[in-house]
């Protein structure tokens, strides 16, 4: 009996022929342009009141952009193997900075947290550098100890002990958001490297218990969780920021009220140009604008993962793990910031990559993008050689 054959239809792929580099640049460029516009729009009122000029924060954002772009070009020229060799130095520098920020007279206390070091008229946030340094170090460890990671508990525990020390220093600032993003990136890298699931179950139990204790023992964290569950019951105290953010989302509806016409940024919504810039964006550009922004983050992370996968296929494992770690950091930080703005997660001090005002964050993201482009360049350079070898 002859088998029934069904007609087939060719469906065109709109991204066919588009490289990971092109998608990465498209997403990063779109997000950065959105950031430029929104930092200017969201900060005008507070800049005029505090510094007598509406473009104070926008001008500083441009300065950080130039610094970040320059640093990104430098990272693009650094061979991936050089990051491998220097990973220990990067981790040591991260530890020194995280310790220095806790020293009175060196670290600056803002809103109850010691997270910044003054460098002339600017500030440096060590936690941003620490994320990158940890990814560079763990990538190097995975290359050197991959068999141990896949077969023994100690292969999992050794990097976690180092990362645990980083997390403890971050919690001492305190910076719970950076701690969570750093830990998630490392766990994701270990998982992609082939770590058995057993250690994850044990660590998850420890994290749940430890996280619960951290929330319970710190009154401000407990208050955030309580206000997060029902922000409208605390609309004029601990839930104020979230309720104002939700109002901004509601006012935006489908297409927004228009650029520059946000009401919530006019001293109703605290941190409107930093942690809650998405709420102002949602108010001015609506659901359609937010959907575009989330799509660009999805493209950015997906492109980074594809670059890592291509590096792994050519057995350039250090570049692969670096790309995976960077992708997880960018994706996790965007996910948490978007979730906080929408009331899905308790409030945390995390910027939206490439969009929020924040000097250290912007510079480090540019460096990460430079590293990703370097990995992709080495992937592309190796591809013809691999084809020639097979021929």
DSSP 282-313: HHHHHHHHHHHHHHHHHHHHHHHHHHHHHHHH
Is 244 a member of any domain? yes
* b/e map 147-186, b = 16+ CB within 10 Å: eebeeeeebbeebbebbeebbebbeebbbbbbbbbbbbbb
pLDDT 10s digits, 32-65:
999 999 999 999 988 888 888 889 999 999 999 9
Is 120 a member of any domain? yes
Give the whole-angstrom CA distance, residue 352 versus residue 278: 8
What is the model's pTM?
0.89
Give the whole-angstrom CA distance, residue 174 versus residue 170: 6
Is 107 a member of any domain? yes
Q: How confident is the model at residue 118 (pLDDT cuts 50, 70, 90)?
A: confident
Is 201 a member of any domain? yes
Main-chain phi, psi angles of 12, to 5 degrees: -70, 135
Q: What's the total number of domains in the chain?
A: 1
Q: Sign of dihedral through CA atoms 356, 175, 166, 103? A: positive
Cβ atoms within 10 Å of 247's Cβ, excluding its own: 17
Encoded tokens for 167: 């997390």
Q: Find the angle CA(339)-CA(288)-CA(364) to the nearest 5 degrees.
A: 50
Q: How confident is the model at residue 344 (pLDDT cuts 50, 70, 90)?
A: confident
CA distances (Å), 337 to each of 86, 348, 354, in order? 31, 8, 12
Q: What is the pLDDT of residue 363?
A: 95
Give the whole-angstrom CA distance, residue 235 versus residue 310: 49
Give 257's contacts (C-beta < 8 A, 6+ positions apart): 251, 263, 283, 284, 286
pLDDT 10s digits, 196-246:
877 777 777 777 787 677 667 666 666 666 666 777 777 776 778 888 999
**Is the N-terminal amide bond of 81 cis, ω within 30° of 0?**
no
Work out the burial of residue 196: count CB atoms within 10 Å of its CB; fewer than 13 is exposed, 13-18 middle, 19 or more buried. Answer: middle
Q: What is the pLDDT of residue 388?
A: 54
Q: How confident is the model at residue 1 (pLDDT cuts 50, 70, 90)?
A: very low
Q: How confident is the model at residue 141 (pLDDT cuts 50, 70, 90)?
A: very high
Is 29 a member of any domain? no
CA distances (Å), 43 to each of 34, 40, 111, 310, in order? 14, 6, 18, 41
Q: What is the pLDDT of residue 267?
A: 79
Is 10 a member of any domain? no
Contact 279, 269 (CB under 8 A): yes
Q: Which domain holds residue 238?
A: 34-379
Give the whole-angstrom CA distance, residue 340 versus residue 282: 13
pLDDT exceeds cutoff 90 at 320:
yes
Half-sphere exposure of 30 (CA within 13 A, CB side): 17
Q: Please name the helix (run of DSSP H) or strand (run of DSSP E) that holds residue 123, with its range, or none.
A: strand 122-124
Strand 122-124 relative to strand 113-119, pairing: antiparallel
Average pLDDT over residues 307-326: 95
Q: How confident is the model at residue 257 (pLDDT cuts 50, 70, 90)?
A: very high
Give the whole-angstrom CA distance, residue 52 versus residue 48: 4
Is 388 a member of any domain? no
Is 390 a member of any domain? no
pLDDT exceeds cutoff 50 at 13:
no
Cβ atoms within 10 Å of 332's Cβ, excluding its own: 21
pLDDT exceeds cutoff 60 at 5:
no
């Amino acid at each position: 009996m002859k088998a029934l054959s069904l007609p087939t239809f060719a469906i065109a792929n709109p991204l066919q022929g588009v490289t990971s580099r092109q998608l990465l640049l498209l997403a990063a460029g779109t997000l950065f342009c959105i950031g430029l516009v929104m930092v200017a729009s969201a900060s005008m009122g507070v800049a005029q009141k505090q510094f007598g000029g509406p473009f104070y924060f926008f001008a500083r954002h441009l300065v950080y952009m130039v610094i970040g772009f320059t640093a990104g070009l430098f990272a693009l020229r650094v061979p991936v193997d050089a990051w491998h060799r220097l990973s220990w130095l990067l981790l040591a520098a991260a530890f020194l900075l995280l310790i220095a920020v806790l020293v009175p007279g060196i670290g600056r206390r803002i809103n109850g947290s010691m997270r910044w070091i003054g460098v002339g008229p600017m500030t440096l946030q060590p936690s941003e550098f620490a994320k990158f340094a940890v990814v560079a170090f763990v990538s190097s460890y995975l290359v050197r100890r991959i068999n141990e990671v896949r077969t023994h508990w100690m292969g999992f525990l050794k990097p976690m002990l180092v990362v645990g020390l980083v997390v403890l220093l971050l919690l001492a600032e305190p910076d719970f958001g950076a701690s969570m993003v750093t830990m998630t990136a490392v766990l994701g890298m270990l998982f992609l490297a082939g770590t058995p699931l057993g250690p994850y179950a044990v660590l998850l139990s420890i994290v749940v218990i430890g996280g619960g204790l951290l929330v319970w023992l710190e009154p401000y964290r407990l208050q955030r969780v309580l206000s997060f569950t029902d922000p409208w019951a605390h609309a004029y105290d601990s839930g104020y920021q979230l309720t104002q953010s939700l109002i901004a989302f509601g006012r935006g509806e489908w297409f927004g009220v228009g650029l520059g016409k946000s009401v919530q940024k006019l001293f109703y919504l605290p941190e409107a140009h930093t942690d809650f810039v998405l709420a102002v964006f949602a108010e001015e550009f609506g659901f359609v604008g937010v959907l575009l922004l989330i799509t660009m983050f999805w493209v950015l992370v997906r492109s980074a993962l594809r670059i890592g996968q291509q590096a792994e296929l050519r057995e350039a494992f250090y570049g692969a793990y670096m790309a995976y770690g960077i992708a997880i950091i960018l994706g996790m930080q965007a996910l948490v910031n978007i979730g906080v703005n929408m009331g899905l997660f308790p409030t945390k001090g995390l910027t939206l990559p490439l969009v929020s005002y924040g000097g250290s964050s912007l510079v480090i993201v540019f460096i990460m993008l430079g590293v990703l482009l370097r990995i992709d360049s080495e992937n592309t350079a190796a591809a013809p050689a691999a084809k020639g070898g097979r021929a």
